[in-house]
Structures are given as structure tokens and as C-alpha cells.
A and B are shown apart, each in its own frame.
Chain A
Amino acid sequence: MSRERITLAILALGGQGGGVLADWILDLAKHQDWRAQGTSVPGVAQRTGSTVYYVEMVPEAVATDPVLALMPVPGDVDIVIASELMEAGRAILRGFVTKDRTTLIGSTHRIYAVSEKSAMGDGRASSERIAAACQERARRFIGFDMDAVTEASGSVISSIMFGALAGSGALPFPRAAFEDAIRASKIAVEANLRGFEAGFQAAGAGKIVLPPVATADAPVPTSTAGRALAHRVGTLPIAAHANALHGVARLMDYQDAAYADLYLDRLAPIAAIGDAELAAETARHLALWMSYEDTVRVADLKVRASRFDRVRKEVRAKDDQILGVTEFMHPRLREICETLPAGIGRWIWESPRLARMLEPLFRKGRHVETTSLRWFLMLRLLAGLRRFRRSSLRYHEEQERIEGWLAAIRETAARDTALATEVARAQGLVKGYGDTFERGLANFATVMAAVDIVDAGGLARLRAAALADDKGQKLAAELATTGTQRASA
């Protein structure tokens, strides 16, 4: 239907400056002799949640006192600006994006929702899926990572969106008029103009750009020991190569070449079974398990020069600023005993009197200021215990668990390689520290106890159930179903 009205919806998160953007657009339209009207739903509903700003405009020449609507009607929106990819998806879901008229200007970056962030594993929605839907449904989709552009231009996302709107050419106004609106607002004009320019260029480029996905190249050996290990990896099935290379590199860093050799000794017989996926997954999970996170490892990672640099970069400390770093560590008696030689550690841990006496000393969390000399030395000392790791209680416990798990993989592989692959993947349940670690270990034991009564799909379901909540409700329910099914089978 032809009409001389432009309708524009902005979907943003509370706090992203959607209101500022709407104000700029209103001011822009007014100075171009269009009668424009904006509406929004401020208030508490806006705090960090999704919110819609809506703008309509009609040339004064067409109607000086038009009757304008206060909310977008599905199928009748000319321009949709979304500050985040899922908000663009939400615009589609609400019917605001249609093939016949909608220019969709959307950021392709993600701000994860609480439901995605709080999942115990990977709860992220699919970006590719939504980006494809945007392209398919919009008359024109201008999509780029506005967060990255914001970062690069040192501006705010609202100015990037305004620039992209100008760059899209979806409004019949000259670029200078857009910039005048920014100037007229008199707030952070310089930074906003910078962002505007960056957004304008990015929109003009006309490419759909998703945030890059980092891929890690396989490590290349640099030492004699490394080359020898790499050579051994070469004898494994190709499917396992990438993970195994990462595995040996990781374990050399974690302990030493001998430990990496042990890794390959353990991996080889399983790889020899001949199932590509089983080999690759065992290579992955065995490396993860063998590089379990003990106090020594944590200390070792915390004191590295590379880590100091990374923190500096991440918190954007400038050269003339001084950076202090404080860790939040909570070593309990349990972790202390695990670090001690197995005999002593076990003796303390298993002696109720000693444990009771010592426990209060390790009940409080410590603020460890790694950038201070005292604490740095302390952590450095702890990291140095790497040499004695093999005698520690934790080492003994973990190796025993690893052997048990490997045996389970081998046994199941003999009858069902798919199931064996799932057994290998069950290691993923064991992660974290303290209570989290203990819960993971318990879940692992629960899931493994069912190996004899389920197939690969069943074990995968149990694993997913174990990651569904941290109270074990879903796992218990899934186990009950599994049990019932088995009883009736």
C-alpha cells in the first residue's frame, strides 16, 4: 500500500540509549519539515529488559496535523533498528519485519539473556539461525557487529545505530541533517559524531558481518620433547590429531613431557579401537581430566607474566595508570590436604580431631593481592609445588578416577562405541572448584552408574539432565524415567 508515512521501531535493551536515538530521529525529522511523533514505555519495565521505541513521521506538506499511531503494527513498519541480534529476532517474532517494506538495521553481536548465561553448560541461542532469518525476512538487512564498532570508535551504540540509519539511506534526509541532530543535542558531540561516522561506513559497506568466531590452530612443536610427542600423535587416527596435539601441549605446560607421554599411553588403546569420534572425544576429555584444576595449577596460571598483560588489556589500564590485582581464593582444609603428600594429606583429612582443629583456619576466603610482593611470592611458591604434584593426595585421587573412567570407556567400546563416546563425554560433568566440583563429581558418578542400562542417547540425555539444574531435580526425574522404561522393557 502506498503511503507517505515512515514508521520506525527501535528495539533495544534498557540502558542502551534507545531513547537518545529516538530523540535524534525526532529532531532530524522536525528540521526536515516532517511531522514526527515518538512513543516509548519507560519505567521499571525498562531496567535492562527489552523495550521498543516507536517513531512515525509524515511530511508537513502531506498533513500538518496527522493522526499518528502510538505503536507499531505488524506488517506496517518501514525501518527496524535493533541494538542486538536477538532483539532483531524479536522484531521478526513480533511481525515488525516484512519482506515488502522493512529495512532491518541490526547489530549482530549478542548480549546474553540470564537464561542463556545461567545454564550449567552451553545455553546460548543460535546466532546463525537468527542472522539467517533476518536476511530472509527483511526487504534489506544491514547487519554488523555494532558492539565492536562502538568499541573501535570509542563511542556509544546509539550513535552507531544513528550512523547506520543514515548510511542505509532508508530515510530521505541528507547526512548533514543527521549530524546536525547530534550537534543540537549538545551531549558528547565529538564522540557521537565519531560513532555516527563509523556506523555510517559500516552500513554503507553492505556486508552482513557476524562477530568473528575464534578458532585455535593446532599447536606446532618447538622442542625436541614436543616433536617426539607430536610424532606419537601422528600415529593416532587423524580424527584425534587436533585434540591430542592440544592435549599434549597442555599437559606439558601443566606438568611435563612424561605426563604428556602418559596421556598418549592412555589414549592409544582407545584410539586403536578405530572409532573416529570416540578417539577425538577421548583425546579431548582425557586431556581435560588430566589437567584437573588443583591449587598448584591455579597459582601457576595466576602469576604468569602473560596473565598480568592480559588483565591489563582487559581492564583497559593505560600505561600511566597503576594496576593492582586481587584474587578471591577460598582454600579450604580439603584443598590444603589435597596439595599435601598423599600420606599426610589423607592422615589429616581422615583424622576427625585434626580436621576439626585445623578447619577453622581455612573457613574464610582470602583476598590475595597478586600484585603485592608477599602474595606473589606465596603463589609463586605454590606454583613451584608442580614438581611434587605426583606425590599429592589429589593426584592419587584423580589418577584413580581417570583409570576407572578409561576402563569404563574400553569396556563399553567393546559392545557399543557410540555409548563409549558418551562415556568419554561424561567427563564434562566434572568441572569447577569446591562445591561445584563436588556436585559435578557426584553427578558423574550417578550418570556412570547407569551405563549398563542405557544406550548412547540415554546417556546423553542423562548428561544433559545433570546440567539442567544445580539441585539434581532433572537428573533424578530423568533417572526415574530411565528406570521405569527399563523395568517395562
Chain B
Amino acid sequence: MAERSFKKEVEKLRIGDGGTFEGEGILAVTKGLLQAGVAYVGGYQGSPISHLMDVFADADPLLKELGVHFETSASEATAAAMLAASVNYPLRGAVAWKSVVGTNVASDALSNVASGGVTGGALVIVGEDYGEGSSIMQERTHAFAMKSQMWLLDPRPNLTSIVDMVEKGFELSEASNTPVMLELRVRACHVTGKFTAKDNVRPAMTVADAANNPNRDTDRIVLPPANFLHEVEKIEKRWPAAVNFVRDRRLNERFGPAAGDVGIIVQGGLFNTLNRALELIGLSDAEGNAQVPIYCLNVTYPLVPEEVTAFCRGKSAVLIVEEGQPEFIEHELNTMLRKADLQTRIIGKDVLPRAGEYSGAVLRDGVAKFLRAWAPDIAPPEAALPTPNVTPSEIPQRPAGFCTGCPERPIFTAMKLVERELGPSHVSADIGCHLFSILPPFNIGNTTMGYGLGPAGASAFRPEGKRAIAIMGDGGFWHNGLTSGIGNAVFNKDDTVTLIVDNGYSAATGGQDILSSRATNPVRTTNHPIERAVRGVGADWVRTIDRTYDIERMRDTLKEALTTETKGPKVIVASSECMLNRQRREKPIKARAMKEGKRVVRERFGVDPDTCTGDHSCIRLSGCPSLTIKPNPDPLRRDPIAHVDNSCVGCGLCGEASHAAVLCPSFYRASIVSNPSGWDRFKDRVRGALIGWMQRRMDVARAARAF
């Protein structure tokens, strides 16, 4: 079950012709796909497109009604390979993933499908995870589009434009026999808005129809001699067809006055930000009536030469607003103008930063700089905002981290304890929530080479004495880690230690189910233990720890793995359910039980303020949001003391850590029994009476020596 339920959104997918769809950008895409008669959809979750996957996962009945096949793909490569269904058959198919990482994974299949070309429309929806909030390397999907010659759509970030581009994308794909990428930036995926819906369309041919009537064309297979033909076909047929389609169907847009001495070319996805920048310098308004000619590229690849030259002709300079690097569009514009022998200057990265997100402030400053050089009469006066009256050092950084009660935290607490005994090891980290280990307080992890590639990242280490440790999540494990990590280590007789963090979900992407999830899922099969898979590929030294909070066991197992005489890969599967999901599951059940008068035990931790001395060793071994500090109530002490706030879920780490690390006796665990049984009450009364009596006697004795 995913982190967010989309039952409400699923209903929106049924809205018919003329109705208004309201919601997030990425959900609008799902509706757009159904309106376009998509026959099959696949993908791999990851911000910012997780919600697309989640909605389709929750929309099973509707998809069945429409005859649409939805696959929760094992990886982006799986999803991309799925597009093979559009090669021989007029089936519209769409796949989605986080980019550029997902595109990297998918690139083998993408190259193949792009080479052979498609009959049915093939749409690749990429969530461009670039700029603020991004969790990956800063690269452009644009390069992939260029190298495989897939067309790249970058619509203006409003729901109407986005949905329109989904449909046009399929048409473009079919008109040019080429898979098309639809790029949506992080905020465009999550922007709220509305658009006028159309009826959903049942695909003219379903995947079942296609399977029943197989059709074969060897010219579409990437094997000599067809592969050489494909390249020629791309240049001679598909590219011109695409350019014609983009031009004839006017996918790119013009804004502002028809003529002017300067103009701006902008990637569609940045149009709103550009308009705001122009508004702030007095050259546009809320409705986008710019006073400078704008050529908006809703299709950023391929460019349409005649449109470009028409726009640039007669202008002394044109600013190209192109986010990220290398500046492919800027290069191409220059080439086009050169060939057309136009003297218009293309200004791009000279006034805009070469790297980083183009925020409103960046564009405001860049456009102003451009205008000052090329159109000083309309350029805004130089104005600087007052510098903030606080400094970065006064505002502590607050990066993302493990949630309260996260079962992954104790794994790293145990690693810290082992590090104290055996010294630091080289740690090859992976992608997932567990990567938060690289931050304080744990500071564990040397490299991360990609999803499921933690163990592979440790494979160069041939230990003589000290073993390297690799971390991998269950998500990464099923994505590719079983073969790229474990299989590889077995085959090569690697002597490393692999720690598989098994929290029951693809947690970092929003808690989606995976093969080893413990939950039962009506439309997928789950409950396939990781240990069985690991043993299946030949690993022998495998230990499963079914409660990660058991720090002593965690520590001792890890120590054993690092020191055992046994050669070959050592695999530890550390299993405990993702706390975020567990709470979401258990909280309502407990609340109901409590209401019904059933006996319910709640546990949480606390710190005694009079025994805590404020060293915070416990925090350095935890970093739990609920384990915090508060002013020292002791009038003689100054350092703040540790304090457990009410968000504590009683995971047990605090107690286990203070035992395992011999910390301090200040922690206590409180178990609060609601609706106690008769026996509970009897025991409590007897104890209470005796303990109370002793406490009163002690109080009297203390009063005798009171100040």
C-alpha cells in the first residue's frame, strides 16, 4: 500500500467530456493518457512521478473496464522494454520514471525502441528531478533525447498545456514512428490546477488483441542489416516527419508582440517563471501579455529551423532561456542562424548561470542583464534587494533524515558501535532512505553509485584484513541488486559484507509494494523473502535479523560478518517494517480498539531530567526527531538535556542503544495500558499500595534532611 491513498483521485479519472478535472499536474497526465486511448502503462516510482504510479495502482477496476494494462515495472529498463508492444502494433503505450536516473537505467531498451521505431504512439513521461528538492545528480534528459533521436516535449506548466501535450505526444510519435519523451519538472508534477476533461477512450486495439494476432517485421529488429537502415530512416524520414508535425500542428507557441528588436526563446516548462520575471521588471502581466516577443518551445527537440529563423530574423539579439548544461539548444540555435546567414546574436549562458535551477530571481536578473546590453530603453533600473539580516551560520541546516522510529536508524547505530570496536570500514552506500546515513549524526558511507548498486560499488575491494561493507535497500535489491550485487559477488567470490535493509516497501519513493513486501496485495504477489532469493543465487553466509531494533544482535552479527573466516560474500538481511507505513496501518486499528474498550498498550520513551547530564551521546547514536533537547531544569547546569517528545512511537532504539553503548541510566520506557484488565488493575493496586507506602516513608526521611 502506498504512502498516499488515491481513491479520491481515481474517481476523478472517470470525469467525462466537459467536466472539470482539478488536481496535481502528474495526475492530470494520468487522465490525459486515458483520454488519448492508451492501451498499456508501466513505469517505476520515484519523485516526482510516484503519484502517477500510485494512482494507476489504485485505479485497477477502471483500467480493467477500459481494457488498459498497467504494470508496476521492476525497473525503468523493464518499463522501457515494455514499449516493444508499440513496435509492431498500433498500441499507444506510456511509461514513466524519475529522470535522469531512470532514463539511465532504461537507456538500453530506449535505444532499441528508438532505433527500430514504433507504429503505435510511445510516450515516455520523465519527471525531471533538477533543482531545489532534487535528490540526484544534476543532468539533463535532453542529452538522451538527442543521442537516441527521441522527441522531447517540455510543455508550459499548466494542466491544460500538459494534458494537451500528452495527446499531441502520441500523435507526434505515430506521425514520426518515434518514441516521444514528455518532460515535467518537479514543481510541474505537483502544481495544482484544472482543465476541461474529455471522455476516456477505450484503446482501438488492446494488448490482448495484439497478443492474439501476432505480427512480425524483421526490419524493426535491431540487428544487421536493419540497424543501419534505422539510422538512415531516422534522418531521412522520421526527423523531417517530426519537424513537419511540430510546425503544422503549432506545438510551439508565440507570445507578445509580433516584432521587436530583441526576443526571447524559452523552454516551455520555464515559461511561467519567465513571465513572472518579466512581470517583475514591468514587461508583462498576470495573463502573460509580454511586451517582448517570446517563442515558447513546447518541443525542445527537434527544433523547427524555419520557425527559429523566422523568429530571429530582424532582431539584433535573442535570449535563449535554457536550464541546465550543456546548453544544447543554444548551440543548435547558433548553428541554425549561421546556416541561414542571420546576424542575430544568440545570448544564453552569457547572462544566465551555466548551472543550477532557473528560479524567478535568476531569470529576473538574467533578463535584466540581457535587456541592459541589447535593449537599454526597456531595461529595468539596477536594483538590489536588501541583504538578509540573518546569516547562514545562524540558521541551522535541516536536511531530510530518518523518520521517528525508523527501523533503519538502529542498523546504523549498530554500525557506529562496530566502528568503535573495529575501526572504520569502507562503506558503499546505495539509493534509498538508508542513504541518510551519510549525514550527521551517523556520517556513514563513502560512495553511492546508483540504485541497487551498493554491493557492486564495493566489488573492487579485495580485502586483506578489512572487509568493505555495502548497503542496499529492498527496493534496490529487486530493481537490480540481486544480480548486479549479490550474483556478482557470489560469482566473483567477493569477500565483502552486504547489508540489505528490508523495510517491506519501496519506502523512499512513497511506500509502494515490492516482491518481498509482507502485506498482501490484491493485484500483485508479495511475500517473497529476500533471503530465499539471495540463497537462490548461491550466497551461503546469510543472516536475517527480523528486528532491527535489537542493536546487540545487529552489532554482533555485523561483527561476525566482518571477522568470520568464511570466504565469499556475507549477506545480512535486516528486516523491520517502515515505521511511516506501520503507523499508518496500526494507528487507526489501535484507536478503534481503544474506543471499543479493548486492552491496548502504548509504549514510549522518556528521559529523566535529573539524571541526564547533557552530553547527548544518545543523540549522536540516533538522530531521531523525537529525541531532542530542552533547557536544563537544573539551576546549576547549563547544557540542554536530552528529551523525548510526544511524537515518540516507542520503537525501542533509545533503550537498546543505551544498553549496547553503555550510555546512561536516564532513559525509561513507559508502557501505558488503556482499558486495563481486571488482573492488570489488581496488580497495579497491590503494587501501588506497597510502593506508595515506601515512597511516603522515604519522603519523610528526606524531609528530615531537607534544606
Name A's B-contacting residues (CB within 8 A). 1, 3-5, 13-15, 26, 36-52, 58, 62-63, 65-76, 86-87, 89-90, 92-95, 98-99, 111-122, 124-126, 129-130, 133, 136-137, 213-214, 216, 219, 221-223, 225-226, 229-230, 242-243, 246-250, 252-253, 256-257, 260, 284, 287-288, 293, 297-298, 301-305, 307-308, 311, 314-318, 320-330, 332, 364-365, 367, 370-373, 376, 380, 383, 428, 431-436, 440, 470
Contacts and interface: CB of A to CB of B under 8 A. Distances in A.
A221 B707 contact: yes
A253 B604 CA distance: 30
Given A115-B397, A322-B673, A75 B619 contact: no
A114 B617 contact: no
A370 to B, nearest CB: 8
A51 B133 contact: yes
Interface residues of B, number: 121
Contact of B190 (A42, A72, A246): A42
A293 B436 CA distance: 35
B400 A327 contact: no
Given A48-B400, A71-B273, A332 B628 contact: no
Given A314-B606, A367-B655, 14 more contacts: A45-B47, A73-B359, A74-B361, A92-B390, A121-B614, A129-B390, A216-B633, A223-B706, A303-B698, A325-B668, A365-B658, A380-B694, A428-B638, A431-B614
Nearest to A41: B133
Nearest to A438: B662
28 contacts: A37-B191, A40-B187, A42-B47, A45-B135, A48-B401, A58-B286, A66-B288, A69-B276, A73-B280, A74-B361, A76-B280, A86-B395, A92-B388, A93-B392, A115-B397, A130-B394, A137-B389, A253-B702, A284-B636, A293-B611, A303-B694, A321-B673, A322-B676, A322-B681, A327-B667, A328-B656, A328-B659, A370-B668
Contact of B672 (A133, A136, A321, A329): A321
B257 interface: no
B637 interface: yes
B399 A49 contact: yes
Given A71-B132, A307-B608, A365-B660, A371 B687 contact: yes
Central interface residue in A70, A219, A365, by most chain B CB within 10 Å: A70
Given A114-B441, A115-B396, A305-B699, A69 B272 contact: yes
Contacts of B706: 222-223, 226, 252-253
Interface in B340-367: 359-361, 364
A254 B619 CA distance: 28
Contacts of B696: 305
B669 A325 contact: yes
A329 B390 contact: no
Interface in B133-175: 133-135, 157-158
A247 B229 CA distance: 91
A209 B372 CA distance: 47
Nearest to B289: A67
B636 A304 contact: no
B620 interface: yes
A73 B670 contact: no
Contacts of A37: 191-193
A41 B190 contact: yes
Given A15-B403, A86-B398, A223-B706, A440 B615 contact: yes
B48 interface: yes
B664 A43 contact: no
Given A284-B636, A321-B672, A95 B385 contact: yes
B379 interface: no
A328 B549 CA distance: 15
B192 A315 contact: no
Contacts of A216: 633, 635
B191 A38 contact: yes
A219 B611 CA distance: 20
A431 to B, nearest CB: 4
B186 interface: yes
Contact of B623 (A114, A250, A327): A114
B680 interface: yes
Contacts of A435: 617, 661-663
B135 A43 contact: yes
A90 to B, nearest CB: 5
B50 A90 contact: no
A119 B692 CA distance: 39
Nearest to A312: B670
A98 B384 CA distance: 12
B213 interface: no
Contact of B665 (A226, A250, A328, A372): A328
Q: Across the A-B interface, give the 5 residue pairs with the lowest CB-CB distance, nearest first.
A: A43-B47, A365-B659, A41-B133, A73-B360, A49-B400
B132 to A, nearest CB: 6
B680 A373 contact: no
A89 B394 contact: yes
Contacts of B273: 69-71
B705 interface: yes
Contact of B629 (A112, A327, A432): A112
B370 interface: no
B88 interface: no
Contacts of A65: 287
Contacts of A222: 706-707
A5 B394 contact: no
Contacts of A213: 631
B508 interface: yes
Contacts of A330: 658-659, 662-663, 665
B359 A118 contact: no
A234 B646 CA distance: 43
Given A38-B192, A113-B397, A76 B360 contact: yes
Nearest to A4: B286
Nearest to A53: B190
Given A70-B188, A243-B636, A322-B672, A92 B389 contact: yes
B446 interface: no
Nearest to A84: B398
B608 A120 contact: no
B332 interface: no
Contacts of B272: 67-70
A305 B695 contact: yes
A225 B661 CA distance: 42
Interface in B306-323: none
A182 to B, nearest CB: 17
Contacts of B492: none
Given A73-B280, A120-B616, A42 B48 contact: yes
B185 to A, nearest CB: 8
A112 B628 contact: yes
Nearest to A223: B706
A162 to B, nearest CB: 17
Contacts of A89: 390, 394-395
B659 A376 contact: no
A214 B287 CA distance: 54
Central interface residue in B398, B692, B707, by most chain A CB within 10 Å: B707
A118 B614 CA distance: 10
Interface string B541-583: 0000000000000000000000000000000000000000000
A390 to B, nearest CB: 15
A323 B400 contact: no
A41 B357 CA distance: 14
A11 to B, nearest CB: 10
Contacts of A324: 670-671, 673
Contacts of A86: 395-396, 398
Nearest to B362: A73
A216 B272 CA distance: 56
A433 B386 contact: no
Contacts of B277: 73
Central interface residue in B402, B510, B656, B695, by most chain A CB within 10 Å: B695
A120 B629 CA distance: 12
Contacts of B623: 114, 117-118
A116 B669 contact: no
